[in-house]
Amino acid sequence: MKKTEIVIIGGGVVGASVAYHLTMRGAKDVLILERGTAQGSGSTGKATGGVRAQFETEINIKMSLYSLDFLVNCGFDCAYEPRGYLFFATDEKQFDYVRRNVEFQKKIGVKDVEVVDKKEIEKICPILNTEDIVGGSFGANDGFVNPLAIMRGFTEQALENGAKIQFETQVSAIETEGGKVVAVATNKGRIECEKVVIATGAWAREIANTAGIDLPVSPQKRQIVWAKSEKTLPENLPMVIDIGSGFHFRPARDFVDHAANSDNTEVLFAYPDPDERESTDTDFDESFIGRVYEKAKHRSPFLFDTKIIREKCRAGLYENTPDHHAILGGCDVEGLYFANGFSGHGVMHSPATGKALSEIILDGKASFLDVSCLSFDRFAKGELLHETAFI
Q: Which residues bind ligand FAD (CB under 6 A)?
A: 9-15, 33-36, 41-44, 46-50, 170-171, 199-203, 207, 222, 224, 316-319, 342, 344-348
Supply angle C-alpha 71, 197, 179, rounded to 5: 155
Q: Shortest Cβ distance from residue 96 to ligand FAD (Å)? A: 26
Give the three-state DSSP class for 390: coil
Q: Shortest Cβ distance from residue 148 to ligand FAD (Å)? A: 10
Q: Shortest Cβ distance from residue 111 to ligand FAD (Å)? A: 20
Q: Do 169 and 35 touch, CB atoms closer than 8 A? A: yes
Phi, psi of 199 (to 5 degrees): -130, 45
Edge-to-edge strand list for the sheet holding 180-186:
2-3, 189-192, 180-186, 171-177
Which one, 50 or 135, has the nearer CB to ligand FAD?
Answer: 50
Which one, 45 or 135, has the nearer CB to ligand FAD?
Answer: 45
Q: Shortest Cβ distance from residue 340 to ligand FAD (Å)? A: 7
Which one, 284 or 293, has the nearer CB to ligand FAD?
Answer: 284
β-bridge pairing 218-228 and 266-270: antiparallel
Which one, 304 or 390, has the nearer CB to ligand FAD?
Answer: 390
Q: Shortest Cβ distance from residue 354 to ligand FAD (Å)? A: 10
Which one, 13 or 65, has the nearer CB to ligand FAD?
Answer: 13
Using alpha carbons, list the distances in angstroms from residue 49 to 79, 209, 232.
Answer: 10, 30, 22
Q: Shortest Cβ distance from residue 339 to ligand FAD (Å)? A: 7
Spatial separation of the C-alpha atoms in residues 330 and 6, rounded to whole Å: 14
Q: For 274-308, give the DSSP string.
A: TTPPB-------THHHHHHHHHHHHH-HHHHT-EE
Which one, 56 or 135, has the nearer CB to ligand FAD?
Answer: 56
